[in-house]
Structure 1
Amino acid sequence: MGSRRLASFSLASISGASSRKTSMAMLALFSKSQNYTSLCRITRSFELISTPRETVAGFDEMVAGTQRKHYMLGGKGGVGKTSCAASLAVKFANHGHPTIVISTDPAHSLSDSFAQDLSGGTLVPVEGVDSPLFALEINPEKAREEFRTASQGSGGSGDGMKDLMDSMGLGMLADQVMQFVESQQYNMFTRIVFDTAPTGHTLRLLSLPDFLDASIGKMMKLKKKLASTTSAFKYVFGKEEKQQDVASDKLEQLRERMAKVRDLFRDPDSTEFVIVTIPTVMAISESSRLHASLRKECIPVQRLIVNQVLPPSASDCKFCAMKRKDQMRVLETIMSDPQLANLRLVQAPLVDVEIRGVPALKFMGDMIWK
């Protein structure tokens, strides 16, 4: 593309041309930086490098209706998943949807994105939005020890049990997800956004229901066999038998919840996985493999966000020119990639300000979610 001088945004446009009060709040936020002028030079030229309007005009569809919908954002580590997820949650809330945003990444950064402490294990209200928005960071590792006892009490052992133990933390994570879906306490929330872990961890989570269904099923069969051969000892070991029954009940309940998780993840009417990436060969290649894996798991995917795209510049910076040229080549490969070509492509610009706090997330959301 030819060079074009960048037109700077005003504070009013950053805040969506809302009230003067909001603009002053934005001014207070950004003026803390020594490079205030630089921070405000996030440009309209992003529109020049976006894909055709018909391919990105999807937010109206995402925000329509009051039926609860779930959006999972995932991809390679370091591509901006958390910022994209948080900005989507803010946009939903500002369009009248009571929203929950949940981080399932053991290395949480949602607290940093909102500039609030979300690590307490309970929903925290996010300040500065038009409708209720709550955020939460959940830790899948906490459940391992609890379910280690449950599985061992049900007769589990060996390498297969080790694999199951490695997945128990994810199982409880998914179980917590279902609490938000099923509990009447959270019926008011019409949008739930998940900030997921990097690709490998997320794929394990998405494939977990089938894995646990098979693994726990085998453990239940083994327990029945053991019970039939040890019936003579029930009187002597009655207490141990009772403990095994409790453990088995826990695992069976988890198995049933996982089946519900599986159905939720695969329902195109209520769930969508959004892939987030950056314009590098390695990131696009991983995104292609991710989409292939999601299709295998029957997870609905419609959108691909390419984050950190350099806008056109009139600067004579050779590094910037070469970097943008390289990014454009990578973006062209998406169009020919069999896994990515049919997804709705959204380009998000590289900005010279850290996206942190609700005003900045609103600004980012207005650029991405159109």
Structure 2
Amino acid sequence: MCAAPGRRYFMVGGKGGVGKTSLSASLAVRFANAGHATLVVSTDPAHSLSDSLAQDVTGGQPVRVEGTDAPLFALELDPEDAKAEIRQFASADGGKGVNDFMDSVGLGAFTQQLADLKLGELLDTPPPGLDEAMAIAKVVQFVDGGEFSQFDRIVFDTAPTGHTLRMLSLPDFLDATIGKVVRLRQTISGAGNAIKGMFGADTSTPDEAVEKLEGLKKKLKTVSELFRDQDKMEFVIACIPTVMAANESARLMESLKGEGVPVRRVVVNQLLPGGGASTTEAEEALAEAKERGDEKLERVLKGVLKDAKFMATKRKDQERALSIIDDELGSKGGLSVARAQLFDIEIRGVPALQFFGMSVWQ
């Protein structure tokens, strides 16, 4: 991951609550410490990247990350900003003026076809994933030119699995939908220009709406192509050791492969550390305390036994989930399986992220 030359994009995604932000931020720290100019971007509506880095990285511009001399920058994008950009493609009056004009010249059927596509609803209330796709497109355009073109590692902390999967299928769907809208719009515009020409009006003004829609198509195409770039992109699946998360991660892997998205590794986060008294050891020590009549020690050891039973049960559950992950995603899926331990402190700030990343990103 660190050794590959040129610019590389990494998307960290998975079920909600598996630690995607900590993994994304720690990967970015790892890249930066290896000498790569790195940008970590959050497109997750939860806005947890600022919390993970222990500094405010909102505002729509890359912010230099504090606590390190490495070339590390962060950017937290607000999905509402992306939605606002999408809404600008819809007319302020919902197209009423166009409808009235076309009806007056006997071309109302065209606008009815346009209305049937429900473009206004699409743009006013964007489907899940569209805002994230737009945000990613903005970042790609951002680093392709200008003062931040030096970034050669861009890490995306994505929204939860369902949102990401819908985002992956959006570009192709919207490309077809917008294509129909553009063709109808051009037909309407052509008819309107013909009428204007009859009265000597200027018909050379370009259709602004068509230009905006074409611009939207271009942005989404950029995202779609980036998702599937086998040389520049890698999707990292984040998971926790539960059967539910393991099964969801297996489905995510299959969906990603079906979409042609490069996916090569899964990180299993929040594994219980080893050590501590076993159930057998706690039971034997408790029996000895009872024989000696040490009531104080007996009370303490009852608590130890309770904790030992709980940990033993949790470890069995995690082992069952790990077996599924190793089999479905590792052996059958061909993914590299990395493991990250559950720590007794919150992973927050560059030093903690660096320590965490050393155990994950080999």
Normalised TM-score (structure 2): 0.78
Task: Specify whether residues 218 and 159 from structure 1 end up closer, same or farther in structure 2 by C-alpha distance, changes over 3 A only.
Answer: closer
Determine which of 31, 37, 43 is the counterpart of 1:92: 31
Contact 2:143 2:151 in 1 (8 A): no
Task: Specify whether residues 302 and 66 from structure 1 end up closer, same or farther in structure 2 by C-alpha distance, changes over 3 A only.
Answer: same
SS of aligned partner of 2:256: helix
Contact 2:25 2:353 in 1 (8 A): yes
- 2:321: which partner in 1? 330
For residues 140-199 of structure 1, the C-alpha deviation after alignment (integer angstroms, 9 at most, x for no partner) is: 222334433424469653464234541453343133122234214222111000000001
For residues 245-288 of structure 1, the C-alpha deviation after alignment (integer angstroms, 9 at most, x for no partner) is: 11221111121222222221111111100000101111111111
- 2:82: which partner in 1? 143
SS of aligned partner of 1:135: strand
- 2:243: which partner in 1? 281
- 2:142: which partner in 1? 180
SS of aligned partner of 1:72: strand
Determine which of 192, 196, 204 is the counterpart of 2:166: 204
- 2:103: which partner in 1? none
- Count of aligned pairs between the two proteins: 308
Contact 2:326 2:337 in 1 (8 A): no
- 1:218: which partner in 2? 180
Determine which of 353, 356, 360 is the counterpart of 2:348: 356
Separation in 2, partners of 1:149, 1:74 = 29
For residues 231-251 of structure 1, the C-alpha deviation after alignment (integer angstroms, 9 at most, x for no partner) is: 344368x79995x81122111
Separation in 1, partners of 2:85, 2:151 = 30
SS of aligned partner of 1:90: helix
User: In terms of Rg, which structure is larger?
Assistant: 2
Compute the RMSD of aligned alpha carbons. 2.5
Separation in 2, partners of 1:157, 1:239 = 27
Matches within 5 A, 1:35-184: 62-152=1-91, 156-158=114-116, 160-161=118-119, 162-163=121-122, 165-167=125-127, 168-184=130-146
Report the CA distance between 1:106 and its aligned residue: 1.3
Question: Percent identity of the aligned residues?
Answer: 51
- 1:229: which partner in 2? 191
Separation in 1, partners of 2:184, 2:233 = 36
Separation in 1, partners of 2:270, 2:250 = 18
- The aligned amino acid for 2:9 is H
- The aligned amino acid for 2:115 is S
SS of aligned partner of 2:207: helix
- The aligned amino acid for 2:126 is D
- 2:288: which partner in 1? none
- 2:254: which partner in 1? 292
Report the CA distance between 1:229 and its aligned residue: 3.4
Report the CA distance between 1:353 and its aligned residue: 0.5
Normalised TM-score (structure 1): 0.77
Separation in 2, partners of 1:277, 1:338 = 11
Contact 2:28 2:72 in 1 (8 A): yes
Name structure 1 gaps, 5 residues minimum. Answer: 1-61
Task: Specify whether residues 326 and 146 from structure 1 end up closer, same or farther in structure 2 by C-alpha distance, changes over 3 A only.
Answer: closer
SS of aligned partner of 2:319: helix
Separation in 2, partners of 1:231, 1:240 = 5
Task: Specify whether residues 231 and 290 from structure 1 end up closer, same or farther in structure 2 by C-alpha distance, changes over 3 A only.
Answer: same
User: Which has the larger displacement, 80-89 or 123-132?
Assistant: 123-132
